[in-house]
Amino acid sequence: MVDETSLDERLADLATGGRQGAVPMAAELIRARGDRRRRRKRAARASGGVLLAAAVAVGGLSLVRAGLPESAPPAADPSPSTSVPLFVAPTPAPGEEYASELGYVYDAVVLDGGRVRVTVQQLRDEKGTAVPTGVVHELTLPAVTPVEVERLTGGKPGDKRLEDVVDRLRAGPQWVFALDYDGEGRVQSLREAHWLSVQ
């Protein structure tokens, strides 16, 4: 009985090894990369609704606040300006891995500890045209954050790390990216939004 079990295990190992040898590793990587891109595109489409819902919620809160009587703020503790929209990190829709935010990424600065600080000027997609929302915020990201680029590298599509493109992102708003957020509000990757025209 022991011999039959070990023979079955050896045959299973040989079959697994044969299957792995029959499918080249490059094909597996290409398939995995394609699956990731499909998930990100689905997340980008879904995030448009999430951003709209967040905008409606913020607008509703400001209307409710406008109906309440206001007291004068204390001189020592001024409240922040309510005319500047606040940044709300997008959250993935049910069943989605990521939610995306569109925006200019610029003013990149390398920090100690393998991190990069960038400024993001949020945009929304209006029929293929990027339109500013008025929200500007800063992010501090790991220097090894994956970045998919195309125009940024002279029209050559490829994958880089954030630290590889800091020099191109040091200037003012020029390059539009989709930033992929996970369920905990962390940026997992940046994808150059080459499909959008900028207003």
Q: What is the pLDDT of residues 104-124, one digit of tens each?
A: 999 999 999 999 999 999 999
Tens digits of per-residue pLDDT, 46-69?
666 656 666 556 666 555 555 555
Tens digits of per-residue pLDDT, 138-193?
999 999 999 999 888 888 889 999 999 999 999 999 999 999 999 999 999 999 99
The whole-angstrom separation of Cα 194 and Cα 175 is 9
Burial of 58 (0-12, 13-18, 19+ CB in 10 A): middle
Task: Say what the pLDDT of residue 79 is.
Answer: 47
The whole-angstrom separation of Cα 126 and Cα 128 is 6
**Average pLDDT score over residue span 191-196:** 88
Element (H, E) at 61: helix 25-67
**CA-closest candidate to residue 161, choices 146, 142, 177, 176:** 146
Beta carbons within 8 Å of 188's beta carbon, 6+ residues apart: 98, 145, 146, 180, 181, 182
Q: Are strands 187-192 and 197-198 parallel, antiparallel or unpaired?
A: unpaired
Instruction: Pull the structure tokens for residue 75.
Output: 């001189």
